[in-house]
Structure 1
Amino acid sequence: MLASLFRTPGGPEVLELAEVPVPVPGPGEVLVRVLAAGVQPADAAVRRGWSPPGTTVELPAIPGNEFAGVVERLGPGSHGWSPGDEVLGFRLLGGHAQYVTAPADQLVAKPATMSWAEAGSLSASGQTAHVALTELGVGPGDTLLLHGASGGVGTVAVQLARHWGATVIGVASAPNHDHLRALGATPVAYGPGLADRIRAAAPTGVTAVLDAAGHGSLDASLDLGAPLDRIGTIVDYPAALRLGLRTLRGPRTATRLAELTDLHTAGALHLTIAATLPLSRAPEAHHLVEAGHTRGKLVLTPWPTG
């Protein structure tokens, strides 16, 4: 099979399209033929040399921690799925390839109403947003300040917070403001005077802050009314440690993912795809993710070129 991999850490240019063996599903695992796989900031961090907590990345490594596709084969003792089932799921690495294995309990059924690109883009951003908002206790009556509101995590977080009864002030670049309004958020632009613009948009203050952008967002959020234990980040852990704020992370689960797919089926969650690129253009996808300001998610397809 073909995969986008890197043999040494570095910039997007270290990614190459290479032929590697199709993985064999182990006990309790499923082999999935990938039809779409999202690209996350975490994938770029792994490519630069970061290892997720409790893991050592062995080279050559294939990034990619979310995917959607068709069940091809079951490993020993695996149950709950059959060849031909359409699924989406998650694993730590290996998603940016034509085939991937994953534990059977890390898959959920793909809704018929969900495109392959949407299905491949949902797990990482969707579950990250769900965990973060749950940890912050966002619910009815809250005013949530969301930095990086138009990205993959932000787009889902806006909708979840609104669905759970909160008002959302979304910080994003100006070209993405109409997008945020369509999702139900009040947009605010980056740049000098940010705190004053947030106060104007939320004159009674904010009650919770989720930073999905970094770049000083936590410092700009300290005096806007939210208690310190309701200000957190999914990206800027050094700043959170320095300021005594929260780092928001938690386990991904099929139960959480199924809740998100149910919301999509009910029309309460819409997924925005910035672009769909072939595996050969994975370096471009990584570059765009690291540059920021992407509206929604970038997705790779299993076709090598296009």
Structure 2
Amino acid sequence: MDSFGGLEKLDLREVAEPHAHAGQIRVRVAAAGLNPMDWIMTANDTAGARFGLSLPTGFGSDYAGTVDEVGTGVTGFAIGDRVFGSAISQSVADYVVISLEGSISLGDGVHHTPDGIDDITASTLSIAARTASAALAVLKLERGDTILIGGAAGGVGIFAIQLARLAGANVIGTGSASSFDYLRGLGAEPVTYGAGLAERVQALAPDGITAATDLYGSETVEAARKLGVPDNRISVIAAQIPGVIGVSGINAAPDTLEYIAELVATGKLQVPIAATYPIEQIRAAAEFQSSRHVHGKVVVKL
């Protein structure tokens, strides 16, 4: 992208091939998973500055692939290692160069891909799984809790539903009627979002709900408060609401992705793939992902 703006600004082009220097590895990307933050952070100058982007900028953050260059001083990674992680606004490209030294604020660097996880699945994990884990961790879910998850059919919801279920909680998830079978397949009791949400949730859970996380906006927060859930058991990821805990992926525990990857590798957590696109169709892939009606993850293959 030579300028920030809508997805019409996104073009496919050849650029100079990057190389790994001291303290870095280069990854030959096989797949790049898309997230809402990819188009949100490039939407305008203000958003770009908030994420530390400079023009021209790449697109996409989550990736999976194989290490093909190792800089001097690097330990723990070798040429041929399968890896995954996130590189902010860089992942939809043949190569990403990852620095292994210094602080990592938004991206989470690089992790070894376990046997049993293909690159397409691995490329969906980093941002969404860390965000879901952080959103639930602050709620301290226990067996017997009933949690309302807003925006449950989205990419973060995939992980939030299943992690909440693994913690022993009952899950009610908001979505459109077309997503109900999908939500049930992940282990949630579906409920339609929109006006009257609190009343519909109360009908589904007459004994009440004990926690909530809003993965979309503020509607779920309002419903949870109406149903008596205290603010310290409500979290949000896409809004700032006084008294309610706001989190993002950077708040996740350091070993979150290793834990999630192991769950996926052992079949305890599934990652539905809504669609895959070749890199030549990156704009179509991003437009589909940004439609907000995607049931599962969207992945670009390279």
TM-score, normalized by the shorter chain, greater than 0.5 = yes
Residue in 2 aligned with 1:295? 295
Q: Partner letter of residue 59 of structure 2?
A: P
- What stretches of structure 1 move > 4 A for 4+ residues in a row? none
Deviation at residue 281 of structure 1 after TM alignment: 2.0
The percentage of aligned residue pairs carrying the same residue is 37
In the alignment, the residues of structure 2 paired with residue 52 and residue 215 of structure 1 have an alpha-carbon distance, to the nearest angstrom, of 25
Matched, 1:101 2:105: no
Q: How big is each residue's C-alpha offset from its partner over 1:217-256, in whole Å with a ceiling of 9 and x where there is no partner?
A: 333332122111211211123xx14xx3221125267621
Residue 29 of structure 2 aligns to a residue in which SS? strand
Aligned partner letter, 2:221: L
**Alpha-carbon shift at residue 215 of structure 1 (Å):** 6.1
1:141 paired with 2:144, answer yes
- How far is 1:41 from its partner? 0.7
- Contact 2:134–2:253, Cα closer than 8 Å, also in 1: no
**1:18 aligned to which of 13, 19, 22:** 13
Question: Which deviates more from structure 2 when the two are superposed, residues 257-266 or residues 135-144?
Answer: 135-144
Tell me what 2:283 maps to: 283
Aligned residue runs from structure 1 range 174-185, under 5 A: 174-185=177-188
The correspondence of residues 9-158 of structure 1 with structure 2, limited to 5 A, is: 9-49=4-44, 50-51=47-48, 53=50, 55-104=51-100, 106-158=109-161
Aligned residue for 1:218, secondary structure, equals: helix
Question: Which stretch shows the higher mean deviation, 183-192 or 246-255?
Answer: 246-255
The CA deviation at 1:195 is 1.4
Tell me the number of residue pairs that the alignment of Structure 1 and Structure 2 aligns: 292
Distance across 2 between alignment mates of 1:227 and 1:249? 20
Distance 1:235 1:92 in 2: 18
Correspondence 1:189 to 2:192: yes
Q: Secondary structure at the match of 1:217?
A: helix
Offset at residue 301 of structure 1 (A): 1.3
Please say if 1:199 is aligned against 2:179. no
Contact persistence 2:26–2:96 (CA under 8 A): yes
Instruction: After TM superposition, give the deviation of residue 135 of structure 1 in Å.
Output: 1.7
Contiguous gaps of at least 5 residues in structure 2? 102-108
Amino acid at match of 1:146: I
- Answer with 219-228 or 98-107: which moved more: 98-107
1:246 aligned residue: 245
| 1:218-229 correspondence runs (5 A) | 218-229=221-232
Distance 1:34 1:21 in 2: 16
CA contact (8 A) 2:148 2:220 kept: no
SS in 1 for 2:84: strand
Q: Partner letter of residue 291 of structure 1? A: S
Of stretches 115-124 and 99-108 in structure 1, the one that deviates more from structure 2 is: 99-108
- The separation in 1 between residues aligned to 2:9 and 2:254, in whole angstroms, is 32
Give me the whole-angstrom Cα distance separating, in 1, the residues matched to 2:143 and 2:33: 31
TM-score normalized with structure 1 length: 0.90
Task: Give the 3-state SS of the residue equivalent to 1:101 in structure 2.
Answer: strand
Alpha-carbon deviation of 1:87? 1.1
Amino acid of the structure 2 residue aligned with 1:38: G
Q: Which amino acid aligns with 1:48?
A: A
SS of 2:125's equivalent in the other structure is helix
Alpha-carbon offset, residue 191 of structure 1: 3.0
Give the aligned residue type for 1:288: F
